[in-house]
Amino acid sequence: MSKFVHLHIHSEFSLLDGANRIKDLPVRAKELGMDAIAITDHGAMYGTIDFYKACKKEGIKPIIGCEVYVAPRSRFDKEPNIDNHYNHLILLAKNQQGYQNLSKLVSIGFVDGYYYKPRIDLEVLEKYHEGLICLSACLAGSVNQALLNGQTEKAEEIALWHKKLFGEDYYIEIQNNGIKEQVLANQKLIALARKLDIPLVATNDAHYLKKEDAYNHEVLLCIQTGKRMSDMDRMRFETDELYVKSPEEMMEYFKAFPDAIENTVKIAEKCNVEFEFGHTILPNYDVPEEFATHYDYFKKLCDDGIKNRYGENPSQEILDRMEYELGVIQKMGYVDYFLIVWDFIHYAKTHNIPVGPGRGSGAGSIIAYAIEITDIDPMKYGLLFERFLNPERISMPDFDVDFCYEHRQDVIDYVSEKYGHDHVSQIITFGTMAAKMVIRDVARVLDVPYSEADSLAKMIPNELHITIKKALEQNKELKDRYETEETVKKVLDVAMALEGMPRQASTHACRRSYYQRTS
């Protein structure tokens, strides 16, 4: 294990606040001689899986965490000017139970506690604390705030409450970030930790990768808050120290407190969360009692459907195609998937809810056509089943189904009632800062006139997935302006640094996920 591990890191999924691209974090950790790194985004865990995979690819140990928002009172209280003043707290998952509890806490924050931010409270923290390591967080942490406000007894009370709950897994967090209040806070935090026998841990609250990225991060904050860099009242950190520092930099700053550095390694060694991929767990579809297995019921639906579509005596070619598809579906374990999709489409069609004929590769399945998931005959149009399901390329099947907009919710409600609201969820989607948009955003923040920004944005070709870099290669006029005009170069350089980062999260228009709990 390395000499120091970063345990407080904000990725691009701390939306419009973190500027660390997930793919870059483990690469940078490796460059700096570290073999583990954490992700602790604000209030959410959007980047967890991508982060885990990126770390594994680079041989870096991923530490799964979150900087949660803690409501000042109850998560249910939403009174203006009181309950919008929340505190921060770092939680790291030690094991699978810890990961499940962290996921639960974050979900509760969104479902029950959302008020400006997704908030939890001490009640649910006490209920779901098992398997978690707790750090007292940044200057926005409750202990820090109490100390900075001269409320030493309150700070001790807060720290002791967390120590009692987490035991040896509660740490007082000290930082090296160039903020003057932090210097004062560190002195008070160290004294508090020694008095209460609570271990220290050193972090850096990294919002960007390298020191030179600080300016781009300031622009990002302005995009988030609708401000300009020239605004005196804009949100700012007034430091260029919130980057992923090397172990040597952290050890030098905290050389008087080697235990705070050593504890980062001890915490990293405690955190061992592993994910398994490629194993899909579907809800159970209840088949009629007269059928011994789900496959038997599915086969009956298919037999009846083939006759309904092709007549009482379908050709051998059609029967062979059906048997082949049945074999693949059974072998790949997707019988229940077909039954679930058939069921809610059948519900829609029998309740006068218009359903589309089917789009995408699913239209290549004769079984989907037979049981009326789709209404396109794959035999007539020579469509291939292998584009939809292929034993050589194992992936979850995906039917693109269109429901009447006015009654789509009726189908969603049916599925939720049948399988349980806690077994059905809508899928998140992220709007990203695409080339034209990010140019306009950056230009506004830098006080570039709208006409100038509009002119630059219109030089980006109307091409799917176009990037500013590709546009510079394709558009000679844009490249010439980039090379000769200082303002244009500045706008495009910052825009390229931020391009593609998630801008906001929203609910996907239709897609839903179906799963069955394993615990």
Which domains can be identified in the chain, with CATH numbers?
68-240 (3.20.20.140), 294-427 (no CATH), 434-500 (1.10.10.1600)
Pairing of β 170-175 and β 132-135: parallel
| Confidence category of residue 393, pLDDT binned at 50, 70, 90 | confident
Which pLDDT tens digit goes with each residue over 180-207?
999 999 999 999 999 999 999 999 999 9
pLDDT of 257 > 50? The answer is: yes
Beta-carbon contacts of residue 496 (< 8 Å; ≥ 6 apart)? 467, 468, 469
Amino acid at 139: L
Which pLDDT tens digit goes with each residue over 51-81?
999 999 999 999 999 999 999 999 999 999 9
Which pLDDT tens digit goes with each residue over 258-275?
999 999 999 999 999 999
**What does the pLDDT average to over 96-125?**
97
Amino acid at 457: A
pLDDT of 323 > 90? The answer is: yes
pLDDT of 398 > 90? The answer is: no
Locate the DSSP E strands across 383-459: 424-432
Radius of gyration, alpha carbons of the chain: 27
Q: What is the pLDDT of residue 508?
A: 74
Percent of the chain with pLDDT over 70: 97
* Stronger pLDDT, 280 or 506, i.e. the higher one: 506
pLDDT of 516 > 70? The answer is: no
Question: From residue 288, how far is each of 298, 414, 418, 492 by CA, in Å?
Answer: 11, 19, 15, 62
Which pLDDT tens digit goes with each residue over 484-494?
999 999 999 99
* Stronger pLDDT, 103 or 425, i.e. the higher one: 103
**What does the pLDDT average to over 154-170?**
98
**Residue 161 backbone class (left: φ over 0; alpha: ψ -120 to 50; beta: rest):** alpha
Chain-wide mean pLDDT for the chain? 93
Question: From residue 141, how far is each of 71, 148, 241, 305, 336 by CA, in Å?
Answer: 11, 11, 19, 62, 47
**HSE (side-chain half, CA atoms, 13 Å) at 206:** 28
Q: What is the pLDDT of residue 238?
A: 82
Amino acid at 435: A
Per the CB < 8 A criterion, the answer to whether 2 and 247 are in contact is yes
Q: Report the distance separating Cα 516 and Cα 27, nearest Å.
A: 35
Which pLDDT tens digit goes with each residue over 121-149?
999 999 999 999 999 999 999 999 999 99
Q: What is the pLDDT of residue 513?
A: 44
**What does the pLDDT average to over 81-85?**
93
| Confidence category of residue 315, pLDDT binned at 50, 70, 90 | very high
Q: Report the distance separating Cα 335 and Cα 118, nearest Å.
A: 38
| Confidence category of residue 464, pLDDT binned at 50, 70, 90 | confident
Closest CA to 337 of 375, 368, 308, 363: 368
Which pLDDT tens digit goes with each residue over 340-353?
999 999 999 999 99
H/E stretch holding 438: helix 435-445
Q: What is the pLDDT of residue 1?
A: 64
* DSSP category for residue 76: T
